[in-house]
Amino acid sequence: MSKTIKIFDTTLRDGEQSPGCSMNLAEKVELARQLERMKVDVIEAGFAISSPGDFLSVKTIAETIEHSVVASLARAVPMDIDRAWEAVSNAKQPRIHTFLATSPIHMEYKLNMTPDQVLETSEAMVRRAKSYCEDVEFSAEDATRSDPLFLAQVFDAVIKAGATTINIPDTVGYAVPEEFYEFLMKIRHHCPALDGVTIAVHCHNDLGLGVANSLAGIRAGARQIECTINGIGERAGNAAMEEIVMALATRRDVYGLETGVVTTELVRASKLLSRITGVAVQPNKAIVGENAFAHEAGIHQHGVLKNKKTYEIMTPESVGFKANQMVLGKHSGKHAFRTKLKELGYEVTEEELVVAFEQFKDVADKKKLVYDRDIEALISKRLAEVPMVYSLDRFVINSGNSITSTAVISLMKEEKVYEKVSRGEGPIDAAFKAIEKIVGFSISLEDYQLRSITEGEDALGDAFVKLEAKGGHYTGRGLSTDVIEASILAYVNAVNKILYEDSLMA
């Protein structure tokens, strides 16, 4: 049996289904490039048939990625299989990943199908996928609440039809580790054909056991683990990739297995995802949290100063943290800035460098020191940008505890200035209402977050908004040392995304 565990990352598909974690095309491509930089084995780029936007992102990623397998999810229906293949057909290594539920509750209430119908459909759709490409994965949705003997029948049929990977997911996070291990061993006993394909597990985290169940799956013979960066995903999320990878790397004495993942890229991947989605990682998050290698207690500090191994079972450098940082300021030149970008893992064109450097200089003029997190925020903001229909011209805010807040907002569109005045419960509310008047369509603010990128009075304000408009959900980001300006820029960024998607669908 193979000593290497394949990492199947589904951040761009299952992860994006997490509330508030939608990404635009540029952000998805950048994240896919980061996954390839990490040498992830399989990138599930999306669910091609779910929307025109998702199809475009899967197709673009498939045409961009050079080394990793690129997969598209597809229900076990002909049009899904066909659309998935259309999306991944230009990939260097394409995969169609099709699924069908096998548990009694799903078959009766969701599918309205008998077990025989599920068996027949699974086999037929795998055969259809196989007619397009050699690499076909089949998943039995809600496997852990299914009859293992029925699963063995289904797996035997789809393997004969051409499936090369069989995924046994804990879709609702119901299993516990020992039970999951025994469950998988029972299926393997009744389906010897599984020994000739790759067994995968996809564990959700509803009981906080996603990683533990994935490791139990490895003990039972699984050689592909499906996971996400930071563990994002539906409901309570998925098994966290960084935790699985480092568990195997740190405890080789127990598992005797390894992945091909470049572990020094884990922190960067985590931060990139947080920056794109606006969903921060809790400080005490294993492996990638800001406090994962922090020591405050005196006893701990004394021990670590004597020998780091007293309280560190892995080094911060091994996952991508750095012991020191190169700090940039307003006197830094373009060469130093380019070097810093490369150090942070960003590859930019000369044109992109010029624009990013101008933004960096603007920030450096307002701040004494520019930290790595400031630069990452600037670059990630550029990834979130779409063609600008509206840009901020100027704003005037009147606010206080004895007057009603009023905002005068001027936006530029095609070299023409549009200005509106609005009142609100506060300066931000007034500004957002004025922008809504300018754009001329109804917008609902679903979420608004504001935080500082670094410490100090001159820290960059990082504003994040989530809007609902025209039946869709859109996020926007804005950066400025003025928090009101950052908030306005975030709102305008989201409005431009709404208009950009309208243009794509036109």
If you write DSSP's letter for every residue of 226-279 in order, what string do you get?
Answer: EEBGGG--STT-B-BHHHHHHHHHHTHHHH--B----GGGHHHHHHHHHHHH--
Alpha-carbon span 136 to 100, nearest angstrom: 14
pLDDT value at residue 63: 98
State the amino acid at position 346 in one-letter form: Y
Task: Indicate whether 466 pLDDT > 70.
Answer: yes
Task: Name the least confident of 3-17, 307-321, 490-504.
Answer: 307-321
Average the pLDDT over 319-324 and give the result.
69
Question: What b-and-e string marks burial along 263-301, b requiring 16 or more CB atoms within 10 Å of the CB?
Answer: bebbbbbbbbbbbbbbbbbeeebebbbeebbebeeeeee
The CA radius of gyration of the chain, in Å to the nearest whole number, is 25
pLDDT value at residue 240: 98
Q: Which CATH architecture has domain 391-505?
A: 2-Layer Sandwich (3.30)
Q: How many CB atoms lie within 10 A of CB 160?
A: 12
Bridge-based pairing of strands 444-452 and 94-101 is unpaired
Structure tokens at 463: 């504003």
Angle at 415 between CA 409 and CA 416, to 5 degrees: 50
Confidence of residue 485 (pLDDT cuts 50, 70, 90): very high
SS3 288: coil
**Which residues are bridge partners to 420 per DSSP?**
409
Q: Are 491 and 432 spatial neighbours (Cβ–Cβ below 8 Å)?
A: yes
Task: Indicate whether 318 pLDDT > 50.
Answer: yes
Task: Indicate whether 479 pLDDT > 90.
Answer: no
Nearest CA-CA partner of 105 in 17, 186, 174: 174
pLDDT value at residue 331: 65
Alpha-carbon span 248 to 7, nearest angstrom: 12
> What is the full DSSP assignment across 314-379?
S-HHHHT--S--PPB-TT--HHHHHHHHHHTT----HHHHHHHHHHHHHHHHH-S-B-HHHHHHHH
Across all residues in the chain, what is the average pLDDT? Answer: 90
Alpha-carbon span 451 to 270, nearest angstrom: 18
Alpha-carbon span 333 to 355, nearest angstrom: 14
Number of helices (H), then strands (E), in the chain: 18, 14
State the amino acid at position 44 in one-letter form: E
pLDDT value at residue 341: 81
Average the pLDDT over 402-411 and give the result.
96
Q: How far apart are the first and last CA of the chain?
A: 52
How far is CA 325 from its chain centroid? 26
Instruction: List, in order, residues 6 or more apart from 35 with CB less than 8 Å away.
Output: 9, 11, 43, 68, 269
Most confident of 20-24, 49-53, 365-369: 49-53
State the amino acid at position 505 in one-letter form: M
Q: Are 332 and 367 spatial neighbours (Cβ–Cβ below 8 Å)?
A: no
Confidence of residue 344 (pLDDT cuts 50, 70, 90): confident
Name the DSSP letter for residue 297. S
Average the pLDDT over 259-264 and give the result.
97
Alpha-carbon span 249 to 261, nearest angstrom: 10
Task: Indicate whether 363 pLDDT > 90.
Answer: no
Question: What b-and-e string marks burial along 409-432, b requiring 16 or more CB atoms within 10 Å of the CB?
Answer: bebeeeeeebebebebeebbbbbb
pLDDT value at residue 301: 43
CATH topology classification for 6-263 = TIM Barrel (3.20.20)
SS3 454: coil
Structure tokens at 332: 């830094």
Q: What are the DSSP E strand ranges found in 142-228?
A: 165-170, 198-203, 224-227
- pLDDT tens digits, one per residue of 68-125: 999 999 999 999 999 999 999 999 999 999 999 999 999 999 999 999 999 999 999 9
- pLDDT tens digits, one per residue of 290-315: 777 764 444 444 464 566 677 678 88
Helical (H) or strand (E) element with 423: strand 416-424
SS3 384: helix
Q: Are 395 and 484 spatial neighbours (Cβ–Cβ below 8 Å)?
A: yes
Structure tokens at 451: 């935080």
Q: Are 97 and 87 spatial neighbours (Cβ–Cβ below 8 Å)?
A: no
- pLDDT tens digits, one per residue of 124-155: 999 999 999 999 999 999 999 999 999 999 99
Alpha-carbon span 131 to 129, nearest angstrom: 5
Task: Indicate whether 366 pLDDT > 90.
Answer: no
pLDDT value at residue 311: 67
Length in residues, the chain: 506
> What is the full DSSP assignment across 56-102?
HHHHHHHHH-SSSEEEEEEESSHHHHHHHHHHHTTSSSEEEEEEEE-
Average the pLDDT over 178-194 and give the result.
98
Instruction: List, in order, residues 6 or more apart from 370 with CB less than 8 Å away.
Output: 327, 328, 329, 332, 360, 363, 364
pLDDT value at residue 325: 38
Q: Are 486 and 462 spatial neighbours (Cβ–Cβ below 8 Å)?
A: yes
Average the pLDDT over 174-203 and give the result.
98
Name the DSSP letter for residue 107. I
Nearest CA-CA partner of 279 in 76, 45, 464: 464
Percent of the chain with pLDDT over 90: 70
